[in-house]
Structure 1
């Protein structure tokens, strides 16, 4: 039986209905922020750790591998043309050009300890009678970023600096600056930081809408605190939905790459073979290899511009949980409907749950409705609905055609602003 996963278009915090829960598949994803220089990964909390520089680790001996197989001539696509024109050092050339504009971001947060937490005699054995440890211990999260403007605007992921009491930006030349958070948008995981500096090196932006699977991808960042690390691979896919990446609370599609990215790479640039930023490295899937994901730079730039101008971003939303219609979903629905209401359509998206008080609820959308069209465009997947909502503005009216109880109906939904408490 084919698997089907209900997903929120924009209301991830509500508990799914019993039907939605039976359809859901639970997975793990990892945001690429590292605590200290260890392999501890920040998923949804800060952990106390003492940051150490990577230089304290002993060297690892590597054994060279050889092969008698001859190397085939490269196919001269976009990347092949670059190789032919520039030779095998084009990645080094990109790093020389862009590297100075890639920064390390240390985000410190004070962890409060509840009074009396260390009064237990069992804990006193570890801390003695001199009192509890520092009640305001600072934890240090490490991420990456890149300089967008030479007067000090830096881009990174929102989860890198979320909840931070102090942000420090370190340039490749060793200069350190205290960072001011201009704004952050957890819905798309984009943040803007400002540092007091001028005449800084900056990145060049590409166009993520023009990239193709198979083209070169170069990542620069600070994985596990190893500053200025460079890795390379290819674009594995484009247009991966947040559901594909298993982070349905993010309203953004992703670039998939097999360039090695790890905790600490969050917020760093993903570059094409011309040294242009095409994405911002953001997440990996836990337990997998070669599955890294970056937010397209077009989205990053749009969100950053709104944060710079307004300090916040407005996101339209409907407030439904949904699942794509397939044969197994159709059979399940028909098993619970009487003969007069049997579902006789093969394409659409089933509304599993409607959030109370949401725009969808106010418009009359109901659980069990099958959305077939929005503004005259056919709907086949949940991603189709997400794309339609994302491309609208708060307050826009969407004309929806749907199946309900054996008949086709039409209604109008006015999009609302995504509630701040759900971000």
Structure 2
């Protein structure tokens, strides 16, 4: 009997999903049921939205009347603790389906009329920046009801981090949370990853390489928006693997006005043919800088690290090389000298053989290093072999694995307390003479 062909029974099966409506209903029911069953997961999802820490009650397809019409939000979450109660409606989209303004505004009206606190939307859309909703609605409808958004990638990331890193006290609840992770990772669930750079990707890519892209081209903004979403997806993906919160680096102005971020990305693409971004990783020596050059089809991911503040140039170089002893020799190392001297760059394999090659200014102090991972950028708009998306994601993961997780900042050696035995005293000098006493000038 061949048991390899037997299908394991799953708490949340993916079989029998026919169409987007069934996909959304099953995803909603699975997520809300696990949130109410696994206390730690339910709390980490709803706590930041203002919900009290009590037991969650969850429902699907709750009917409401609005202006004589019957409407059915996909779900409802209620949290109670003592006399405090918090209620949120839930709207879910899966696959490529996007949230619509009219539907969201109807649910906001229902929430206001019933005294509910919030509306939570879940889809594969990634918000332009933290706290900003991907679907703009009439601001007047948000005076009494808060509007929150979770991407399915964020939901999956929180589920994995809770189970694998933060922990779940009850083993059975941990298993239930694992079943949700299995379901969301399945292609049939509709909780898909970032898979497309958009219809404008190929025309913009070709225009950049030809040098004909104009600042007035709306397509440049569309592709810039897709790249920004890809960076946020890369941050969530890397954070899920590390069990840490990895975030895109944004200025205060970009957080307050996401449109300025897209404008800057688009302007940089037109002027230099490059996309630039950075990721902040907890306890890494620096932010992970990402530069994508569409003209040369190259992706450069790099980390900066301060050089030791003591020792000769070759001593400082060897200190860095020792940390990268298991890294590939194709990494590029740049040495930055004090007082504006020209930088020097060599491949790691050459520096290993001759550290002096990087010390092009032996009399000048090396202040810092940049270690870069350079790889090819895919040309296709989608995922898979030759795809731009996978080439960026692979570059981010590889650069952290080969560089970021290996580097540690330099720390000065603390001074050592000397003993009397280490002080040399002339044998023919009486020990009771002052000249033979311990002095700060003794070596």
TM-score, normalising length: structure 2? 0.24
Q: Which has the higher helix share?
A: 2
TM-score, normalising length: structure 1? 0.25
Which structure ranks higher in relative contact order (CA pairs < 8 Å, sequence separation ≥ 6)?
Answer: 1
Q: Which has the larger radius of gyration?
A: 2
